[in-house]
Chains A and B, each alone.
Chain A
Amino acid sequence: MKKNSIPRWVPWLTLMFMLIGIFLVQELRIQSAISAATADPKTEVLISLITNLENETAAQEERLALIRQETETIISQSTSGETQLTDLQKELTLQQIRAGITALEGPGIIVKLDDNASGLAAAPNDDPNRYVIHYENLLYIVNDLRNAGAEGISINGQRIVVSSEIRCVGNVILVNTTRLAPPFEIAAIGNPTELENAIINSSTYQQLSLSGFPTSYSVTDVHSRDIVLPAYTGSFSTKNLTSIPQEEV
């Protein structure tokens, strides 16, 4: 080996160390951003308040579901001779199903969507927002399923009722004010063929699949009862609503 020539592993090693350096710096920056955010006492207080409220509302929902179930049992068991009451009971059950406060089972579809983690891995310096599922994606797919006649829908176990909102605050997706995290599983009950067509033709689903997001769906047999949607356990606000005869509209 000549004295002044640089061995060929030197440039390699230099390059590698440079890369490691770049990654280390970025990692440190992220870590310090995290600790800066969590170190903020105000943030810490807010987070603990949020988690406390989440636990509290979850307990309330559990209790509400229990009371609704008990009420339902009493009403359905009160075998009355009055046909007027029996008719009302039937109508009540129908409205409970329609409102989504009962579980629902039947044939349908399950759509799965996840963040594009491998896409982000391949382009670590790209905007990460391009690789995550956004609330609009879920909102549009729910609308596509409704257009195909879905009789009931849930996302990650949150039943979608008439007043269910699908939104994001920061980068957190909330449904029924409950935080949801990917992967997302949208379950819908209805005619499996029609629901499948809706997903195949859904521009949201197509766009996510084409951009490399992990997406899949499975449909059941039309006679199946494999799709089970949980009951909505939240509240309905009606304090501003007054019923009027349809003729007055």
Chain B
Amino acid sequence: MKNKVHGWHIYLVVTFVLLGILISTQIHTQNRLLSDLSMQSTSDLSIMLKNLTDKRWLLTEELEEAEHNLLTYQNDYNNDTALLSSVENELNRLQLISGASAVKGPGISINVDGYLLSSDLVVIVNELWAAGAEAVAINDCRITATSGISYVETLDKTYLTCDGTVIQEPYEIRAIGNNATLEKSLTMPGGIADSLSLYQVHLNITLHDEIVLASQPVQPQLRYGKVPSKTE
């Protein structure tokens, strides 16, 4: 009796095997579900399409310019004056991007009213870049590729920091770009302004035809990173 294999034993084994297969396929489908394009809503897909269209447009413009520059470099290889001005142009452009030069242009300023967390600030800055901002600063702190946002705590107060320097209240975030697009990205329903207002934090946004952003005063040298040599 004890060691006999009953008919229902086999049934049970078969059933469990089936059950296992079903559970695993379901998990598999659920995983696929979440990030697969076919599972995104039409409106999300439209957003992605718009972003990609913008990206293609920007790339087309940049490619044209880069090709033109390359041609100049190739033709003026031995013409110091021409080469000098080409190099200067490209240098100026990179300094605008990297934050090495102060800039002005159309944009928005955001005055923060309420208790803002450093993580909120990270999200706001990220949102501005996503909306096509070309330069961003928090008070006098120009955001660069290496800028970090954090906080320091004293006994009675928490201070937000940007690049290790305390940002004094009131906080003002400035961004240059298409000012209507920048504003909309923050104020859209369910966006960052909405979610912050739940915590009594209010973003007062002003559109400017021209706004000024400081440069990053010190450009620290790279101490660890190197450009890989091409011979390798």
Q: Which residues of A contact B (CB under 8 A)?
A: 7-9, 12-13, 16-17, 19-20, 23-24, 26-27, 30-31, 34, 37-38, 40, 42-43, 46-47, 49-51, 53-54, 56-57, 60-61, 63-64, 67-68, 70-71, 73-75, 78, 80, 82, 84-85, 88-89, 91-93, 95-100, 102-108, 115, 117, 120-121, 124, 128-129, 132, 136, 139-140, 143-152, 160-167, 169-174, 177, 181-182, 189-191, 225, 228-229, 234-246, 248-249
* Inter-chain contact A37/B74, CB cutoff 8 Å: no
In the complex, how many angstroms separate the beta carbon of A58 from the nearest chain B beta carbon? 10
Known contacts being A64-B66, A238-B96, is A172 close to B26, with CB within 8 Å?
A: no
Inter-chain CA distance A43–B170, complex, in Å, is 46
Q: How far is the CA of A162 from the CA of B103 in the complex (A)?
A: 15
Q: A97 to B225, Cβ gap below 8 A? A: yes
Q: Name B residues whose Cβ lies closer than 8 Å to a Cβ of A.
A: 6-8, 11-12, 15-16, 18-19, 22-23, 25-27, 29-31, 33-35, 37-42, 44-49, 51-56, 58-63, 66-67, 69-70, 73-74, 77-78, 80, 83-84, 87-88, 90-107, 119, 122-123, 126-127, 129-130, 132-135, 143-150, 164, 176-178, 212-215, 217, 219, 222-228, 230
In the bound complex, CA of A148 to CA of B224 (Å)? 13
Residues A99 and B38 in contact, CB atoms below 8 Å apart = no
| B194 CB → nearest A CB, Å | 16
Contact between A243 and B8, CB atoms less than 8 A apart: no
Partner of B44 from the list A38, A54, A170 (CB cut-off 8 Å) is: A170
For B34, give the chain A residue with the smallest CB separation. A171
A163–B133 contact, CB under 8 A? yes
From known contacts A31-B29, A92-B87, A238-B134, infer whether A151 and B106 are also in contact, taking CB-CB under 8 Å. Answer: no
Judge whether B134 and A42 touch: CB under 8 Å.
Answer: no
Nearest chain A residue, comparing its CB with the CB of B76:
A78
- Tell me the complex Cα distance, A181–B26, Å: 19
Interface centre among B26, B58, B77, B225 (most CB of A within 10 A): B225
Q: Are A20 and B22 neighbours in the complex by a CB distance under 8 Å?
A: yes
A240's contact among B26, B105, B147, by CB below 8 Å, is which?
A: B105
Contact A237 B176 (CB under 8 A): no
5 CB contacts below 8 A, A to B, read A9-B11, A12-B8, A40-B42, A57-B59, A146-B146
Q: Is the CB of B73 within 8 A of A243?
A: no
In the complex, A238→B177 CA distance in Å? 9
Give the distance to chain B from A135, nearest Cβ to Cβ, in Å: 9
Q: Point out the residues of chain A lying under 8 angstroms from B119, CB to CB.
A: 140
For A68, A171, A173, A237, the residue with the greatest tally of chain B CB atoms inside 10 Å of its CB is: A237
Closest to A192 in B: B224
Residues in B with CB closer than 8 Å to A132 are 34-35
Chain A residue with Cβ nearest B140:
A249
Bound: A171/B36 CA distance, A: 8
Q: Please tell me if the beta carbons of B145 and A241 are within 8 angstroms of each other in the complex.
A: no
Could you say which of B26, B97, B104 contacts A162, with CB atoms under 8 Å apart?
Answer: B97
Is B227 a contact of A143 with CB atoms below 8 Å?
Answer: no
User: Which chain B residue has the least Cβ–Cβ distance from A19?
Assistant: B19
Closest to B95 in A: A95
Neighbouring A residues of B130 by C-beta, 8 Å: 165, 167
Q: Which residues of A contact B178 (CB under 8 A)?
A: 240
Chain A residues within an 8 Å CB radius of B70: 67, 70-71, 74
Given contacts A20-B19, A50-B49, A235-B62, contact A249 B102 (CB under 8 A): yes
Tell whether A78 pairs with B83 under 8 Å between CB atoms, given A165-B130, A172-B35.
Answer: yes
Chain B hits for A246, CB < 8 A: 101-102, 214-215, 217
Q: Can you name the residue of chain A whose Cβ is closest to the Cβ of B118?
A: A143
Knowing A9-B8, A235-B58 touch, does A46 contact B101 (C-beta < 8 A)?
no
Closest to B229 in A: A105
Residues of A with C-beta under 8 A to B135: 241
* Contact (Cβ within 8 A) B94 A85: no
